[in-house]
Amino acid sequence: MAMDKFSDKPIDIDAMLAKREEVVGSADRFPFIALGETWWCIDPRLADDSLQYDLEDLRDDLDDGEIDSSEFRTALIDLYLGDEQGEKFRAAGGQMKHINAALEAYADTQADPTRRSSRATRRRVKRR
């Protein structure tokens, strides 16, 4: 995209996050309902760098055999929901499939509809 397509007004991330916190209730989390309860999941796009470092460490631990896949999924749930909420989520029967579905659905609601062509959308719909 050419620079002349941008307005003279800079994007105000601080204002966007403040508005998001006002509307959603959090600047970096979003709510989803699963298992009859509302849970708050970190939005990976808005999380601080420590989430990425923790994810990398977990993947390394899994690859090195220091943790098994069950421990990996438990740790992922705790990363996305927080330790206390993660424990309650698992006790209610929550699994990573619920969080993955929430992350995908949330990303779909946040997508810029002008970024995909109608041809790409038709191709995606046919695959489902």
Whole-number Å distance between alpha carbons of 13 and 73: 32
Residue 1 has pLDDT above 70, yes or no: no
Q: Across-strand partners of 33?
A: 38
User: DSSP assignment, residue 5?
Assistant: G
Average pLDDT over residues 73-88: 97
Q: What's this model's pTM, rounded to 2 decimal places?
A: 0.74
Instruction: Using the predicted structure, report yes or no on whether residue 127 has a pLDDT greater than 60.
Output: no
Does the pLDDT of residue 72 top 70, yes or no? yes
3-state secondary structure (DSSP) of residue 12: coil
State the maximum Cα–Cα separation within the chain, in Å, rounded to a whole number: 53
As a whole number of angstroms, the distance between CA 47 and CA 32 comes to: 17
pLDDT digits (tens, 9 = 90+) for 91-118: 999 999 999 999 999 988 876 555 454 4
- Which amino acid is present at 84? E
CA 82 to chain centre: 13
pLDDT exceeds 60 at position 29: yes
pLDDT in tens, 4-19: 566 678 999 999 889 9
pLDDT of residue 20: 86
Q: CA-CA distances (angstroms) from residue 106 to 24, 30, 41, 53, 56?
A: 12, 8, 10, 23, 23
Better pLDDT: 92 or 24:
92
* Residue bearing the bigger pLDDT, 64 or 113: 64
